[in-house]
Structure 1
Amino acid sequence: MTLTMMKLTQHDTHEVPRPRFGTAHVWVESPLQLLSAVETHAAGLLGTDIRIIPRLGMPLEATTQALLKHAPAGVRFEKAARKPPQPKSSSDRYVTGDAYSGKVQRSLLAGVKAKEIIIIDDGLATLALIKQLISETPTPLVRARAKNSAARIAMGLATWHRLRQLAREGRLLIVSALFVDAQTRARMTELGIKFAQHKFEWLSTQPVAESFTEPTLLIGSAMVADQLIHEEPYLQWIEEISADGPVAYFPHRRETPELLEKISKIDQVVLKEHTVPIEMRLRVLRPGQEIRALPSTVIPSLRLLLGPDSRYLYPQAVPDHWWTESTDLELREHLSSSLKV
C-alpha cells in the first residue's frame, strides 16, 4: 500500500505541520475513535509508523477488520490492552480520542514521554473539550452526564491544567471533522492549542461495503440506555416512523438487549447488527431513501459524507417531555447541539 496524503480542509489548516516520519501510539476506546485514527493518519498528522491499540473489552473487532482491508500504509493494529500505551521515545506521539477517560487522564498526569499529544475526533465530546480548554476559569474535564466523585473531579481539574501546559509548550494538537468557529480558533491559537479539521477525505475514497433496501434508515440512540430520555416516547416515535413503511434500525452500541427486543417487535422494523460506525455504513443513499435520527455526533458527520444527499437526513429534536428529570438543562443543550453544527 502507498501512503496517500489527504488534504485537510479549511483555509488555515496548513499551519499545522504534516509529519512525514516518526511513531505514534494511538489509544482508541470506540469505533468512531478508531475511524478517526485512520483519517488523522491519512491526513499526514501522525507519522509513518502508527500503532493503534484498542482498549480491552470494547466492541472494535468489526471496525478493525473493515479498516484493515484498506488502511493507509504504516498502520499497525496491535493487541487490545487495559491501559494506554506509554511511548518509549520522546520523539514519539501519544494519541487518544477521549480526554475524559480516567485511564487517559491518569496516563497524562503520570507524565507522558512524547513530543506531542494528539486528541483525535470523538464527535461532540471533542467540541465540549475545546470549549472547556479555552475557558478563562479552570474547568474539570469530566463527562457531563456522569455522577463524578470529588476525587474524579480533582483528577479532571488536574488534567485541564496539564493540557493547558502542553498547549503552552506547543505540544497539543486537536483534530476533528466538526466545525470550530473563528472566535474559538483564535482563542485556541492564543493558548497554543493547534487544530486541524478533516472532512472524512480518506473514507470518501473507499468502496461502500453495504447496501440497504429499506426506504427509511433509523439511527438508534443511547439516550434511553443512558437514562437521559424516557423509553415509552422513544418507542412510540419508532412506531410512528415505521407506520409509513419498512425501517432499518441501526442500534447504538450502548442500547440494552431488553430495549432492542422491544424494538424488534415493532411492525416493519428490521434490526441491523451493530458492526462498524454509522459513518462507514450510511454514507451513500439509494434513490428514495432517508435517514432519521435523534441528536447525535453522527449527524454533522453524515452531512459531510452525504454531500448533496444530506437533504435526506432528518434529525429530530428531543421534545421536552421525553427528557428525564435527572437530565439538566445544560446537558440537554449539549446533547442537542449536533442539530446546529
Structure 2
Amino acid sequence: MTRSAPAHTPASARTLAFVESPVQLLNVLEWAHARSGPASEPGRLLDGVPRQPSRSAAGPPGPDGEGPPARSAKRRLGEGEGTGVRIVVLPPTDPMSRGQLRRMAGLARDEGHEVRWQEARGGRFAPVKALAALAREVRAARRVVIGDPFSRYVQLLLTLVRAEELVVVDDGTATMEFVAQTSRGERLVRWHRVGGGGLPGRLRELAYAPVSANARRRFTPRPGGSRRVEVFTSMPVSAPHAAMTVRLNDFAWTRARFGPPRLTKGTDLVGTSLVETGVVDPDRYREAVRALALEHGATRYFAHRRESPEKLRALSEATGLEIVRPDLPLELIARRGPVGRTIVSFPSTVVHTLPYALTGTGVTVAVCDVDPLWLTQGASARARGFLAGVTDTARDVHRLPAQAAPAAG
C-alpha cells in the first residue's frame, strides 16, 4: 500500500489518546499537528526552517503529572467547542519514564491538549480502578489514538471502545511488527518476547485469549470504512492490510518547535534497551560500545530511559563516556542541541526517526549492526532477522559493520 501524506482534516473534539511512554506522547503531538494542517505560527519562517523552541522547555509540570492549563493553544483540533485531543497517560513505574512523561505532558498542554494522568500500575487493584475511571470516556470517544497496540492494558480498554476509527501512532520499531502481524491476521506478539512461564503462564494466556482476539479484530479494518484503522508512522512498514491507512510521520511538529541545533565536533552514541529486554548479552554490549567510542572518538552516551543504573555505571567505567540521561525523547534533545555532527546507534527506533527530526541540520546518523554472536540464548527466534530488518530499511543513514566484541570472561 502506498504511504500517503499527512491529512489536513480537523480531528474530532472527542478524540481520546492512550499513551504509556514519552515517545508515544510525542507521536500523538506529531499526529495532531499533521491533522491540523499548515498554520502561520511564530517560529515558522517562510522557508520552513523553525527558529523558536517551545516555551515548555523551561520546566516540567508537578510531580503528579498535572500542570497549569495550556497557556497558548495556537491550534484547535476539535469540532465546535473542542479544545484538541484528550490524552490519557498510563505511566509505567520507572522514574526515568515518568519524568520524561511529565515533561511531555507540559508540552502537550502548551499545544492546547488536555492531559489526564491515570495510574494503572503499582498496586493490586490499580488496573481495575483505572479501567472503571476511564470507562465512560472510552465509550464516548469518536476516535481512539493508541500508542502501544501490544499493551495488554490498552487491549483491555479496547473491549469498551465503540469508536469506528482507531489510530495507532509509533511505539518505535514495534510498529513494523504490528503492521506485519495485522496484515497476516496473526496474534499480536512483541518481536522480542519469548514464551514461557510454565503452566501458570499458559493459564494466563488462556484466560487473556478473548481480550487478545478482540484487539486483533479491532485493529483489522473493514473494507468500505465501517471500521477504519490508521497507522501514523516513521517506520518503513511493508504490505499493510489493504484497508489500512498509513500516513507519514515526518516530525514536522518537532522541527517547528525546536532548533535547529548547534553542532559539536564530536560523535554521540545512542544507547538501547536490548540488554534489558534480554536480547543482547550485557558483556558483549559493553565491549561493542567501548569499541565504537574508540573508533569514532565519541565522548557522550545518551542512555535509553529503560537502561539500568548498574549497566550505565559499568559502561562509564569501561569506556570513559559521559552518560547523559535525557529528560525528553531523543528526537527533541537532538533537535534542541547541542548535538554531535555524527550520531551512532545500534538498530533501534532512532535510526528511522532522527533523519526526519534532523533534516537539513548536517548531522549524520550511523547505525552499527548487531553481531548474531551478541544475542543471548534466550533471545527469540525473530530477534536476529528483526534487528537486521531495522538496519536494512533505515533511510539516510550511514551503515557501520558490527564491532568485533570479544567473548565475555
Shift of 1:159: 2.0
Alignment of 1:174 with 2:224, yes or no, is no
Change in Cα spacing, 1:134 to 1:216, as seen in structure 2 (3 Å) is same
Task: Report the equivalent of 1:61.
Answer: 99
Task: Report the equivalent of 2:181.
Answer: 132
CA contact (8 A) 1:63 1:277 kept: no
Matched length: 322
CA distance in 1 between partners of 2:149 and 2:221 (Å): 15
Among 321, 332, 336, which residue is 2:384 paired with?
332
Change in Cα spacing, 1:214 to 1:232, as seen in structure 2 (3 Å) is farther
Change in Cα spacing, 1:66 to 1:211, as seen in structure 2 (3 Å) is farther
Equivalent residues in 2 for 1:38-117, closer than 5 Å = 38-44=29-35, 47=78, 48-58=83-93, 59-65=97-103, 68-69=106-107, 73-82=111-120, 83=130, 85-86=134-135, 87=137, 90=140, 92-108=142-158, 110-117=159-166
Task: Report the equivalent of 2:191.
Answer: 144
User: Aligned with 2:35: secondary structure?
Assistant: coil
Shift of 1:37: 0.7
Superposed CA deviations along residues 56-111 of structure 1, whole A, max 9, x for unmatched, are 33524335425635766431222233146443664532221111100011111x23
Alignment of 1:205 with 2:260, yes or no, is no
CA contact (8 A) 2:24 2:170 kept: yes
CA contact (8 A) 1:55 1:81 kept: yes
Among 10, 25, 32, which residue is 1:19 paired with?
10
Shift of 1:336: 2.9
Change in Cα spacing, 1:97 to 1:272, as seen in structure 2 (3 Å) is same
CA distance in 2 between partners of 1:288 and 1:69 (Å): 25
Task: Report the equivalent of 2:127.
Answer: none
Superposed CA deviations along residues 215-269 of structure 1, whole A, max 9, x for unmatched, are 1211011111222111122111222233353521111122112111101213430
CA distance in 2 between partners of 1:13 and 1:312 (Å): 25
* TM-score for the superposition, normalised by structure 2: 0.70
Superposed CA deviations along residues 292-335 of structure 1, whole A, max 9, x for unmatched, are 11100111111222235677211000112111122244222113
* TM-score for the superposition, normalised by structure 1: 0.82
Shift of 1:42: 0.8
Shift of 1:162: 3.1
CA distance in 2 between partners of 1:310 and 1:69 (Å): 26
CA contact (8 A) 2:269 2:300 kept: yes
User: Aligned with 1:78: secondary structure?
Assistant: strand
CA contact (8 A) 1:42 1:72 kept: no
CA distance in 1 between partners of 2:213 and 2:117 (Å): 31
Task: Report the equivalent of 2:282.
Answer: 231
CA distance in 1 between partners of 2:317 and 2:219 (Å): 48
User: Aligned with 1:203: secondary structure?
Assistant: helix
CA distance in 2 between partners of 1:319 and 1:278 (Å): 25
Alignment of 1:118 with 2:167, yes or no, is yes
Shift of 1:55: 1.1
Change in Cα spacing, 1:169 to 1:287, as seen in structure 2 (3 Å) is closer
CA contact (8 A) 2:105 2:115 kept: no
CA contact (8 A) 1:91 1:115 kept: no
Q: What 5-or-longer segments of structure 1 have no aligned partner?
A: 1-9
Task: Report the equivalent of 1:318.
Answer: 370
CA distance in 1 between partners of 2:32 and 2:180 (Å): 25
Percent identity, aligned pairs only, is 23
Deviates more, 1:218-227 or 1:244-253: 244-253
CA distance in 2 between partners of 1:318 and 1:93 (Å): 39
CA contact (8 A) 1:117 1:172 kept: yes
Q: For the aligned residues, what is the CA RMSD?
A: 3.0
Q: Which has the higher contact order (CA 8 A, sep 6+)?
A: 2
Shift of 1:173: 1.9
User: Aligned with 2:377: secondary structure?
Assistant: coil
Deviates more, 1:279-288 or 1:225-234: 279-288
